[in-house]
């Protein structure tokens, strides 16, 4: 074959595919694999594949409720090797969740060791923990697997068989709930009370036309293992009709008497979504309410939770409004949360969102299927047993002939053919009459095998009576099984009685309260307005203290603090920086303390960054409304701005506009100053009247106040007037600036040596 012929043959074998179509098909295959085989539960047993495989493997290993615990690592390894080749983490996580009574209404696994807690601490490594099946798991989830009630399918490598679904006898999908994220869809089903769900299923059995609203007579709402209070009961009928919606749930709060007349709010139940790390987040949020001055009622908060249950204690002041504080917790923290409901499950091989009635109907159909297969299996076994029993009874009645056949036969096959087909060739009989009787025998093959294996003690009279009694019981069982299989009402009675038995044995009182509550509304008590002294040191640490402390510590304050001024406790302070920014800080965010206290860096309570800018001036925002401010930059740009322009709500605004390379060096409140003195790095001083500086808006750049030589810039600004000092230290000499000649703005000034 030449090269042309070879290449032509290759062209015929190439399959051309559209890349987009190939990617679409591959993605759909992947998505369906995740949906069906990983993330979503089956509506029939309410289990995801990993949960189903773990429980089945535990049964296969014989780890029953009355047997010793086995290492979790053994269970995980065996499950992964036989049924679930997706990593040990997913299997152990599933095992842990099935053992946690704060996540499942009915734990399916009995865990021994550290299986985590409600506060978010994870379980110990699988090599340290042990587990076994719960009794209800054996009774209601794994029973009758030997009676061919469900289909078995090959495992991933076709070396084992696993059940396609477990023969669960209760609506587990609703009772234990389920959460999972697939590709493009997610399921979120809340847990429910076992007794209520069983009552609802029995109601469906009795009345197939029952509506979802009528079922709400039995199912009050979700029953979370953590308790709590569902507050939107009026929305539940629609949620259970559609299978979608939002359930609002609050924690439960009790009021106790504390020490010294204080009141303690004790949180004894939490919303289900708050399980785990959200408890610590809740504690932080409550502490933040006090730190940011949202409330002044909190004295102390402590988490006293233990294995016995949740107990979070918030100590309040004596005069605290308890109801208002409760509402604040509901509104400002996750003590009131929502549980998003999306009752999505695999039904008939595909994902469907189902309402309450549809879920119960699917489960009832599954129960009929289980019972039909179970009783067909039992009927077949009883019919086989009856056949053998009738053969043995018949054999006992002609036992002498049977013994004669056995003694006269040369082998087992010869004796069996005689009893089944009446063949007597080769068998030695004592008489022609015996041979004639033997030729009339018509045992079945199964009866013949049983006779040949019968022991001699069966010939005792009492044993024969027991055999007859056993036969009567077998016939009664056959009659009962046939009635169950043929009569729909009889099978319904069986399903109903089983459900009632599970309810009687395993039902527990409801934990979650269902009510219709008003939306939480609270009022923030306005803090009392008073004058405070604000102090800021040279390192940028701020604090407040009683205004009267200034007169008592005037010398120390003037010496140790760069800025100090009177402000309102309900007001703000303004921080002007060299880059032209204005940062506002709420006074209530500044800690109130004593003179010796360190305070808090203003970086921590504002958008100010000491790495990028420096403070030029700080004052009270309320005082600015009464005055004007004079701005001066290092390139001698100046302007006067009305203080009212800085009464802003934003945490940071531009206080002035700066030219490239320029920066702000002075901000001063104008009171009774008369002249301003500008000092440059080159030693030039210019004094002129403040009235020469025009008033402009805060967004303006201003006017030039002094002509500077090349590479020269302003370094200081002074004022003269009745309340300003008239001299400064310059080059180790005293310079009387109030004696400098008053010139005009925008001059060069005079050089001082």
Residues 260 and 249: their CA atoms lie apart, in Å, by 33
CA distance 648 to 574: 10
Helix (H) or strand (E) holding 495: helix 488-506
Cross-strand pairs, 711: none
Cα 231 to Cα 72, 212, 214, 329: the distances in Å are 40, 20, 20, 15
**Residue the block writes with tokens 């003690």:** 457
Catalytic status, residue 481? no
Q: What share of the chain is helix, strand, coil (3-state, %, to 5)?
A: 40, 25, 35
Whether 259 contacts 554, CB under 8 Å: no
Q: Which residue do the tokens 């009874």 mark?
A: 393
Of 341, 288, 343, 286, nearest in space to 312 by CA: 286
Cα-based distances in Å from 735 to 679, 722, 738, 740, 749:
12, 18, 9, 9, 15
Beta bridge partners of 541: 601
How many residues are recorded in the chain? 753
CB atoms within 10 A of CB 261: 9
Q: Give the position of tokens 């063949």.
A: 423
Joined together, the tokens standing for residue 182 give 């697939």
Please identify which of the residues 30, 128, 457, 627 carries the catalytic annotation.
128
Closest CA to 700 of 743, 653, 650, 658: 658
**Strand 229-230 with 513-514, pairing:** parallel
Residue 732 to residues 58, 504, 735: CA-CA distances in angstroms? Answer: 92, 99, 9
Q: Which residues are catalytic?
A: 128
């Amino acid at each position: 074959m030449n090269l042309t012929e070879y290449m032509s043959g290759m062209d015929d074998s190439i399959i051309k595919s559209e890349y987009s179509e190939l990617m679409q098909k591959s993605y759909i295959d992947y998505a369906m694999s995740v949906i069906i085989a990983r993330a979503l539960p089956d509506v029939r047993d309410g289990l995801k594949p990993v949960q189903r495989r773990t429980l089945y493997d535990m049964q296969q290993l014989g780890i029953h409720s009355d047997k010793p615990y086995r290492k979790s690592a053994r269970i995980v390894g065996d499950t992964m090797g036989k049924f679930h080749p997706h990593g040990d983490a997913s299997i152990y996580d599933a095992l842990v969740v099935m053992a946690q009574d704060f996540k499942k209404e009915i734990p399916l696994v009995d865990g021994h060791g550290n299986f985590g807690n409600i506060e978010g601490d994870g379980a110990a490594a699988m090599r340290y923990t042990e587990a076994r099946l719960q009794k209800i798991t054996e009774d209601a989830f794994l029973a009758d697997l030997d009676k061919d009630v469900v289909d078995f399918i090959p495992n991933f490598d076709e070396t084992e068989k696993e059940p396609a679904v477990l023969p669960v006898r209760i609506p587990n999908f609703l009772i234990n709930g389920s959460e999972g994220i697939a590709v493009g869809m997610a399921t979120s089903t809340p847990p429910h009370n076992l007794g209520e769900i069983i009552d609802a299923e029995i109601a469906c059995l009795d009345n197939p036309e029952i509506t979802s609203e009528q079922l709400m007579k039995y199912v009050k709402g979700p029953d979370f293992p953590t308790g709590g209070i569902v507050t939107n009961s009026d929305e539940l009928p629609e949620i259970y009709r559609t299978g979608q919606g939002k359930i609002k749930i609050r924690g439960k709060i009790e009021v106790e008497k504390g020490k010294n007349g204080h009141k303690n709010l004790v949180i004894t139940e939490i919303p289900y979504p708050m399980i785990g790390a959200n408890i610590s987040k809740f504690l932080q949020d409550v502490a933040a309410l006090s730190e940011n001055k949202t409330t002044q009622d909190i004295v102390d908060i402590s988490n006293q939770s233990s294995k016995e249950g949740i107990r979070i204690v918030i100590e309040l002041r004596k005069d605290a409004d308890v109801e208002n504080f409760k509402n604040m917790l509901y509104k400002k923290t996750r003590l009131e949360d929502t549980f998003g409901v999306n009752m999505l499950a695999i039904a008939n091989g595909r994902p469907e969102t189902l309402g309450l009635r549809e879920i119960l109907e699917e489960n009832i159909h599954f129960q009929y299927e289980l019972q039909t297969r179970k009783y067909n299996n039992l009927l077949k076994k009883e019919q086989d047993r009856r056949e053998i029993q009738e053969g043995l009874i018949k054999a006992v009645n002609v036992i002498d002939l049977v013994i004669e056949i056995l003694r006269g036969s040369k082998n087992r096959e010869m004796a069996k053919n005689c009893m089944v087909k009446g063949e007597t060739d080769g068998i030695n009989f004592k008489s022609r009459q015996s041979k004639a009787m033997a030729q009339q025998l018509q045992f079945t093959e199964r009866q013949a095998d049983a006779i040949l294996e019968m022991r001699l003690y069966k010939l005792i009279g009492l044993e024969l009576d027991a055999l007859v009694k056993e036969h009567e019981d077998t016939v009664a069982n056959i009659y009962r099984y046939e009635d169950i299989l043929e009569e729909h009402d009889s099978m319904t009675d069986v399903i109903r009685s089983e459900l009632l038995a599970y309810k009687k044995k395993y039902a527990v009182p409801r934990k979650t309260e269902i009510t219709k509550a008003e939306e939480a509304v609270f009022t923030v008590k306005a803090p009392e307005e008073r004058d405070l002294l604000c102090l800021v040191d040279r390192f940028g640490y701020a604090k407040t203290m009683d205004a009267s402390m200034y007169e008592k510590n005037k010398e120390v304050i003037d010496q140790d603090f760069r800025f100090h001024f009177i402000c309102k406790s309900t007001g703000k302070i303004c921080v002007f920086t060299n880059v032209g920014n204005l940062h506002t800080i709420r006074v209530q965010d500044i800690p109130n303390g004593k003179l010796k206290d360190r305070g808090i860096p203003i970086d921590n309570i504002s958008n100010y960054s000491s790495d990028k800018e420096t403070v030029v001036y700080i004052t009270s925002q309320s005082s600015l409304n009464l005055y004007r401010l004079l701005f001066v930059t290092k390139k001698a740009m100046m302007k006067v701005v009305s203080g009212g322009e800085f009464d802003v709500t934003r945490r940071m605004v531009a206080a002035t506009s700066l030219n490239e390379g320029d920066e702000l060096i002075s901000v001063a409140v104008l009171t009774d100053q008369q002249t301003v003195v500008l000092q440059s790095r080159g030693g030039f001083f210019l004094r002129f009247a403040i009235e020469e500086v025009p008033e402009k808006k805060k967004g303006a750049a201003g006017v030039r106040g002094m002509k500077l030589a090349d590479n020269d810039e302003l370094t200081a600004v002074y004022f003269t007037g009745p309340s300003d000092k008239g001299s400064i230290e310059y080059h180790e000499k005293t310079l009387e600036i109030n004696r400098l000649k008053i010139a005009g703005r925008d001059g060069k000034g005079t050089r001082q040596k």
